[in-house]
């Protein structure tokens, strides 16, 4: 599935639409260059879920946790890890064992230590906006509900 988004607001709106269709336990890989809109998409999801605080890229922290009602949302950014083994040191499997939604930026840097994604979203900057290519690996066909 492909979606073209004209601007930042449309990217946030797409993230908000994800909130309507994702199950309570889900792993989403976000791929794209720096500045492509990965964190903007997560911000839209979190706003739709009712989170009103600051949403920033977890580039320096590796992971940001958001608690919304009884739901945990983890936003990972693996850009700064030097080896996938670092994920084991931080107890990455503990995050995935929870009933949570996990957004993972730069998942290629953690291969071998990450679960298979339910959804992969590749964001490419285009002259007039952003192109999202969505691969849905779920049996529920989440992408078709977007």
CATH number for position 29: 3.40.50.300
Tokens of 91: 């107890």
Tokens of 143: 């992408």
State the Cα–Cα distance between residues 11 and 111, nearest whole angstrom.
26
Q: What is the pLDDT of residue 19?
A: 92
The answer to whether 77 and 106 are in contact (CB under 8 A) is yes
Q: Is residue 145 assigned to a domain?
A: no
Sign for the CA dihedral angle at 105, 29, 63, 44 comes to positive
Q: What is the pLDDT of residue 115?
A: 93
Q: What is the pLDDT of residue 54?
A: 85
Q: Is residue 78 assigned to a domain?
A: yes
Q: Is residue 100 assigned to a domain?
A: yes
State the Cα–Cα distance between residues 116 and 135, nearest whole angstrom.
12
| DSSP three-state, residue 20 | helix
- Please identify every stretch of the chain with a pLDDT value under 70, giving residue numbers as ranges: 139-146
Q: Is residue 136 assigned to a domain?
A: no
Q: Is residue 46 assigned to a domain?
A: yes
Q: What is the pLDDT of residue 145?
A: 62
Q: Which residue has the tokens 């503990």?
A: 94
The answer to whether 46 and 64 are in contact (CB under 8 A) is no
Q: Are strands 63-68 and 119-126 parallel, antiparallel or unpaired?
A: unpaired
Q: What is the pLDDT of residue 146?
A: 63
Q: What is the pLDDT of residue 56?
A: 80
Q: Find the domain containing 35 and state its range.
A: 12-115
Domain count for the chain, please give it. Answer: 1
Q: What is the pLDDT of residue 123?
A: 96
Q: What is the pLDDT of residue 124?
A: 94
Q: What is the pLDDT of residue 143?
A: 61
């Amino acid at each position: 599935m492909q979606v073209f988004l004209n601007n930042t607001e449309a990217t946030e709106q797409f993230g908000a639409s994800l909130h309507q269709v994702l199950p309570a336990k889900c792993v989403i890989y976000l791929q794209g260059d720096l500045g492509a809109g990965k964190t903007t998409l997560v911000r839209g999801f979190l706003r739709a879920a009712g989170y009103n605080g600051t949403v920033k890229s977890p580039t320096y922290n590796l992971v940001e946790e958001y608690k919304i009602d009884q739901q945990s949302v983890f936003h990972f950014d693996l850009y700064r890890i030097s080896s996938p083994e670092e994920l084991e040191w931080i107890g990455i499997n503990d995050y995935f064992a929870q009933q949570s939604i996990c957004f993972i930026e730069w998942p290629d840097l953690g291969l071998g230590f990450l679960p298979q994604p339910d959804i992969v979203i590749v964001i490419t900057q285009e002259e007039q906006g952003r192109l999202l290519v969505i691969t849905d690996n779920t049996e529920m066909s989440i992408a078709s509900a977007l």
